[in-house]
Amino acid sequence: MKFHVNRDVFSEAVSFVVKLLPQRNPQPILAGVLIEASEDGLSLAAFDYEASARTTIEATVDEPGTILVHGRLLSEIASRLPNAPIQIEVGEDDGIVLTCGSARFTLASMPVQEYPAIPEVSGESGLVPAEDFATAIAQVAFAASRDDVTPVLTGVQLEVAGTQLSLVATDRYRVALRDVDWDGGGVAGDESTTALVPARTLTEVGKTFAHSGDIQVAFSGSGDREIIAFTAGNKTVTSLLIKGNFPPVRRLFPEQTDHYAVVNTAELAEAVRRVALVLDRSAPLRFTFTPDGVSMDASGTEQARATESVDATLNGDDVTLGLNPQYLLEALGAVKSEFARITFTSSDNANKLSPVLITPQTSGTPESFKYLLQPNLLLR
């Protein structure tokens, strides 16, 4: 095998396919990148049995063939090569020889025959606007659990119904939900389709395809090998779906009530960051909502204390409650609007520990982002 390829194009392609691979893989063969050279150009792919990435790029192929080489090492080398075309060929001892300008690398090849087959997806599919989808992922994925003890909570549930795609995530203490437009094709209709995708994989999809126009989303497979594929341009990412029943968290979202506060999103976030500096880890921050605004009060074990208040408009009775400051900050960062509405879902004060609903404060349009946060018990 022998081919010539543009350095920047090749470096970007290798970086893309290795991005989803785990830093440490128990099977060394899965650390490889599969490169296939043909008259159509180059195909690069990586797969670890759970997620795969594949892309095709243009190249001048002198001798077709297939090689498997350590992915992260190749990515690091390609990103540091001089500004010149790359030539890659198989050496006399079956090693891989990479030449770029005056730089020359010899890399060990890996056995192609031992590499697993890259998943192919041919199931029902639809289109979603890439920018909206990437924003939705960023607004939801952080609410997924990072604890592998409960795998179903480490994923983001994708729910397709008619012309709408919903993304939902929860870690038991909060729920994030965002809706985006969906151009259905074979998936649209009365029946809904769901897919529980690992949050880590979906986050990388959002970052990679954020500016790709439209993303084709396809569902395929059955049983223990159900997969989902995301394709934009010459790039495709597949992911094995998480098996299990995602909790029915939609029913937790209340109907909108008239008991709420409206506050400047950035001002509240900055105040929370400052006041929370004195808090012990995982301790809740006390919030008091009144017609005069919202005040924050925090005390730490080092006899440190902080208070601050910001302007807010309150509709309804005064409320005092405790909230996890980091969870609140993540919600405020996802609101994406100048003002946020914090709705109190109980007619009583926060003594019942009823969740608060955080949404963008907009006029005239339904909210596509909702964040439900469970308050913490205040000990004082």
pLDDT digits (tens, 9 = 90+) for 98-146: 999 999 999 999 999 999 999 887 777 899 999 999 999 999 999 999 9
Q: What does the alpha-carbon distance between residue 104 and residue 97 come to, in Å, rounded to a whole number?
A: 7
Residue range 125-250 in CATH 3.40.630.30: no
For residue 168, the cross-strand partners are 157, 177
Q: According to CATH, where is 3.10.150.10 located in the chain? A: 2-114, 125-250, 253-373
H/E segment holding residue 87: strand 86-90
Buried b (16+ CB within 10 A) or exposed e, 46-83: bbbebbbbbbbbebebeeeeebbbbbbebbebbeebee
CATH topology of domain 2-114: DNA Polymerase III; Chain A, domain 2 (3.10.150)
Q: What does the alpha-carbon distance between residue 265 and residue 249 come to, in Å, rounded to a whole number?
A: 25
Residue range 213-241, pLDDT digits in tens? 899 999 886 667 889 999 999 999 999 99
Which pTM value belongs to this model? 0.90
For the segment(s) 253-373, the CATH number from 3.10.150.10, 1.10.3720.10, 3.40.50.720, 3.40.50.12280 is: 3.10.150.10
Residue 15, pLDDT above cutoff 80: yes
